[in-house]
Amino acid sequence: MDLLEYQGKQLFARHGLDVSDGRAVTTVEDAVAAANELGYPVVVKAQVLIGGRGKAGGVKLASNEDEAREHATNILGLDIRGHIVHELWIEKASDIADEYYASILLDRSAKAPLLMFSKEGGIDIEEVAANTPEKLVRHHIDALDGLSREEALKIAEQGGVEADLTDGVADILVSLYEVWTQEDATLTEINPLIVTPDRKVKALDAKVTLDNNALYRHPENAELKVHGEEDPQEAKAAEHGLQYVALDGDIGILGNGAGLVMSTLDVVAQAGGSPANFLDAGGGSDAETIKQGVEVILGNPKVKAVLFNIFGGITRCDEVANGLIAAFAEINPTVPFVVRLDGTNDVQGRELLEQAALPNVHPAKTMNEAAEKVVALAKEQS
Q: What is the C-alpha separation between 90 and 80, in angstroms, rounded?
A: 18
Q: Is 205 in the site for Mn ion (CB under 5 A)?
A: yes
CA distances to 222, 293, 303 from 213, rounded to whole Å, are: 11, 21, 28
Q: Cα separation of 240 and 270, whole Å? A: 30
Q: Total residues contacting Mn ion (rule CB under 5 A)? A: 2
Cβ-closest position to Mn ion? 205
Question: Can you tell me the distance from the alpha carbon of 114 to that of 241, in angstroms, rounded to the nearest whole number?
Answer: 32
The sign of the dihedral angle between the CA atoms of 329, 332, 333, 334 is positive
What is the smallest separation between the CB atom of 80 and Mn ion, expressed in angstroms? Answer: 13
Instruction: Show contacts with ligand GDP in window 25-44 (CB under 6 A).
Output: 43
| 167-196 footprint of ligand GDP as x/- string (CB under 6 A) | ------------------------xx----
Closest distance of CB 232 from ligand GDP, Å = 25
122 part of the interface to ligand GDP, by CB under 6 A:
yes
CA angle, corner 244, sides to 346 and 304, nearest 5?
Answer: 75
Q: Rule CB under 6 A: say whether 51 interacts with ligand GDP.
A: yes
CA–CA distance, 153 with 221 (Å, rounded to integer) = 30
Would residue 369 show up in a list of annotated catalytic residues for this protein? Answer: no
Count of helix runs (H) and strand runs (E) in the chain: 13, 18
Residue from 52, 228, 241, 272 in contact with ligand GDP (CB under 6 A): 52
Instruction: Check binding of 8 to ligand GDP (CB under 6 A).
Output: no
Q: Is 214 in the site for ligand GDP (CB under 6 A)?
A: no
Kindly identify the residues of this chain, within the stretch 335-354, that bind ligand GDP according to CB under 6 A. none
Q: Is 87 a known active-site residue? A: no
Catalytic residue among 91, 99, 100, 101: 101
Burial pattern 65-85, b for ≥16 Cβ within 10 A else e, equals: eebbbebbebbbeeebeebeb
Which positions are catalytic?
Answer: 101, 189
Residues that bind ligand GDP (CB under 6 A): 43, 51-54, 59, 61, 93-94, 96, 99, 122, 191-192, 204-205
